[in-house]
C-alpha cells in the first residue's frame, strides 16, 4: 500500500499516495489545493461494537479502491482511530487531536450516539464537516451545524414498522429497546404510530446498553403474552436477543418478534441462523437488496474482505465517502468546511440501498425504508424486502 504509516500512534493511513514535490504547482492557491485532504475516521475497532468499525473501515477502503485516492486534484488521506466504542471522552479527545495536531479537514465515522454527541462541539469549533455514518438518534445533526448524516435514524426506520404491524392484524405489542438515545426514539415513535394505527402497547421495556441481560425482560414479555414483541438493540446485540427469545419459549408461546434491521444485522445473520426465520423487520438496507448497484457492491465487498457480508453501517460509510467526493468535485477541491457543507446540502444520488438525498435544512438523509422477512437463501439467512415506503424523512422523536 502506498503512503505513510505511523505505527507508533496506532494510526492507519489507507492508501495515501505520497505527493511528489516535483509536481507541486508554484501558485499558492493552487499549491494549497494540491495539499492532501485529511479525513479523521473515528470508529470502534475494538470492544463490543468492533463489528461497526470493521464494516466502516472495509467500506471506506473499497470506495477508495473503486474511485481513486484523489478527487478534484486533492489526495484524500484517511486517518483511522479506534475509540473503543464505549467512552465519549475518548472520542472527544481523538477528535480534538485529529483537528489540532493532524490538521484533518473532515471528521467521519461515529459508531454510537454518545460518541457523536461528544465530537459535535469539536466540529463546530474547528468548522470541519462531521459525517455521521452510523449513530442514529434523531437529534444528532442539531448538535452541530457541521454535521451531515449518511446512515439513518431509528425514528425513520421504526415508523414504517409500526404502521405495517397495525395494518397486519397485530393488535397488542410490548416494546423492548436499549435504554439510550436511539432506543428511546424507537420506543416513542413505535408507541405513537402503532397507537394511531389502532394498536395497543401493553408495556415498554428498556434494557441497559452495557452488559445487558435480556432474560428478565423476556420473562415479563412471556407473562404479558402480546401478539408481538417489537425490539431495537444496536448492531452487534441482535444474536443474543434472538437466541434468548427462542430458548425462553416466546416463539413457542405464539409471540411474534418484529424489529428494526439493527437486530437482524447482515453481519450477524450467520451467527443468528435459523432463529431469524420468518422474522419481519424494517430497515434502509439489506445485503439482499435486488438492485444491480447492490449486487456489485456485495460482491466487491465480499471479495475484498474474505467473504464478509456488508451491513447497513458499511453502506452509511460508503455513501459518506461518496458525499465527500461529490462535494469536493463541486468545490473544485476546496476543503473549506462551510463550502463543503453547502455542497453536501441537498445532494442526491443512487445508493446501493436505493435513492437517497441529504435534506438541505436538517442535513439528515432521506431514503426508502423496506419491510423485510428473514428467509434462507443459498445456505444462509437474508432479509428479503417485500414492501417499501419511499422518501422517508426523519420524523423526529
> Taking CB under 6 A as the rule, does residue 235 contact ligand PHB?
yes
- Closest approach, Cβ 207 to ligand PHB, in A, equals 14
> Taking CB under 6 A as the rule, does residue 262 contact ligand PHB?
yes
Q: Looking at 93-101, 129-137, 336-344, 377-385, which segment touches ligand PHB (CB under 6 A)?
A: 129-137
Q: Count other Cβ atoms within 10 Å, centred on residue 339.
A: 16
> Taking CB under 6 A as the rule, does residue 281 contact ligand PHB?
no
CA distance 341 to 249: 51
> Cα dist. 207→176, 203, 229, 235, 244 in Å?
7, 13, 14, 15, 14
Taking the least distance from each CB to ligand PHB, the nearer of 40 and 44 is 44
Taking the least distance from each CB to ligand PHB, the nearer of 106 and 136 is 136
Instruction: Pick from 182, 199, 333, 337 the residue near ligand PHB by CB under 6 A.
Output: 182
> Taking CB under 6 A as the rule, does residue 234 contact ligand PHB?
yes
CA distance 267 to 309: 6
> Taking CB under 6 A as the rule, does residue 187 contact ligand PHB?
no
> Taking CB under 6 A as the rule, does residue 135 contact ligand PHB?
yes
Taking the least distance from each CB to ligand PHB, the nearer of 106 and 112 is 112
> Taking CB under 6 A as the rule, does residue 112 contact ligand PHB?
yes
Pair 249, 229: CB distance under 8 Å: no
What dihedral angle (degrees, nearest 10) is formed by the CA atoms of 162, 163, 169, 175? 10
CA distance 367 to 151: 10
Per-residue contact track with ligand PHB, 335 to 354, x per CB under 6 A? --------------------
Q: Looking at 90-98, 134-142, 248-256, 359-367, which segment touches ligand PHB (CB under 6 A)?
A: 134-142
Judged by CB under 6 A, the chain residues 60 through 89 that form the site for ligand PHB are: none
Taking the least distance from each CB to ligand PHB, the nearer of 112 and 343 is 112
Interface with ligand PHB by CB under 6 A: which residues? 112-113, 134-137, 181-182, 234-235, 262
Amino acid at each position: 500500500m502506498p503512503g505513510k504509516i505511523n505505527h507508533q500512534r496506532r494510526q492507519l493511513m489507507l492508501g495515501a499516495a505520497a505527493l511528489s514535490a516535483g509536481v507541486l504547482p508554484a501558485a499558492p492557491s493552487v499549491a494549497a489545493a494540491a495539499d492532501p485532504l485529511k479525513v479523521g475516521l473515528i470508529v470502534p475497532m475494538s470492544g463490543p461494537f468492533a463489528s461497526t468499525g470493521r464494516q466502516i473501515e472495509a467500506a471506506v477502503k473499497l470506495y477508495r479502491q473503486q474511485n481513486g485516492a484523489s478527487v478534484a486534484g486533492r489526495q484524500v488521506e484517511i486517518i483511522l482511530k479506534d475509540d473503543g466504542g464505549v467512552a465519549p471522552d475518548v472520542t472527544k479527545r481523538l477528535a480534538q487531536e485529529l483537528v489540532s495536531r493532524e490538521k484533518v479537514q473532515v471528521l467521519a465515522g461515529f459508531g454510537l450516539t454518545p460518541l457523536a454527541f461528544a465530537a459535535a462541539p469539536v466540529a463546530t469549533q474547528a468548522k470541519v464537516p462531521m459525517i455521521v455514518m452510523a449513530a442514529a438518534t434523531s437529534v444528532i445533526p442539531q448538535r452541530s451545524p457541521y454535521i451531515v448524516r449518511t446512515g439513518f435514524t431509528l425514528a425513520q426506520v421504526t415508523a414504517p414498522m409500526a404502521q405495517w404491524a397495525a395494518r397486519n392484524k397485530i393488535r397488542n405489542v410490548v416494546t423492548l429497546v436499549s435504554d439510550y438515545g436511539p432506543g428511546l426514539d424507537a420506543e416513542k415513535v413505535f408507541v405513537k404510530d402503532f397507537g394511531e394505527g389502532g394498536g395497543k402497547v401493553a408495556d415498554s421495556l428498556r434494557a441497559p446498553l452495557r452488559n445487558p441481560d435480556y432474560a428478565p425482560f423476556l420473562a415479563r414479555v412471556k407473562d404479558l403474552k402480546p401478539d408481538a414483541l417489537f425490539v431495537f438493540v444496536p448492531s452487534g446485540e441482535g444474536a443474543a436477543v434472538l437466541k434468548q427469545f427462542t430458548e425462553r419459549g416466546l416463539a413457542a408461546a405464539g409471540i411474534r418478534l418484529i424489529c428494526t434491521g439493527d437486530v437482524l444485522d447482515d453481519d450477524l445473520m450467520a451467527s443468528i441462523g435459523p432463529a431469524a426465520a420468518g422474522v419481519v423487520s424494517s430497515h434502509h438496507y439489506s445485503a439482499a437488496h435486488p438492485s444491480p448497484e447492490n449486487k456489485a457492491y456485495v460482491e466487491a465487498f465480499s471479495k475484498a474482505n474474505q467473504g464478509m457480508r456488508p451491513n447497513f453501517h458499511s453502506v452509511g460509510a460508503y455513501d459518506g465517502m461518496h458525499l465527500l467526493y461529490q462535494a469536493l468535485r463541486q468545490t473544485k477541491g476546496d476543503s473549506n468546511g462551510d463550502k463543503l457543507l453547502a455542497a453536501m446540502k441537498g445532494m442526491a444520488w443512487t445508493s446501493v440501498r436505493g435513492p437517497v438525498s441529504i435534506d438541505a435544512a436538517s442535513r439528515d438523509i432521506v431514503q426508502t425504508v423496506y419491510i423485510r422477512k428473514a428467509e434462507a437463501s443459498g445456505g444462509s439467512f437474508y432479509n428479503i424486502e417485500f414492501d417499501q415506503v419511499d422518501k422517508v424523512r426523519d420524523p423526529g422523536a
